[in-house]
Structure 1
Amino acid sequence: MWARAIVSQSSGNSALDKAALQAAQASRFRPPTVNGVATTRQYKIEYVFQLD
């Protein structure tokens, strides 16, 4: 579960920025653990959109 997601660099298109946020919030992963306990981490995900 994500605590929060932000756009760190806008694409210049608010619809694409919103789509990137939605994609990040919908993604799932297994967090790293320390001694079997999930830890908090910061991740940077880059989404590349191609408009045809």
Structure 2
Amino acid sequence: THRVLPGFPLALGYTLIYLILIVLIPLSAVFLKSATLNSGSSSGRSSARHG
């Protein structure tokens, strides 16, 4: 069969790998870091920036 987009599976694979490496891993690290902070220090830090 003739594909409409030759090389599409390879390009899709590279796109998914780069998406995981560049976006999902740092984003999950941010969520894990924010989950480990206690709420007292984060609220005190954010209220100090308002003034």
Please indicate, yes or no, whether the TM-score normalized by the shorter chain is above 0.5. no
Higher relative contact order (CA 8 A, sep 6+): 1
Higher strand residue share: 1
Higher Rg: 2
More helix by share: 2
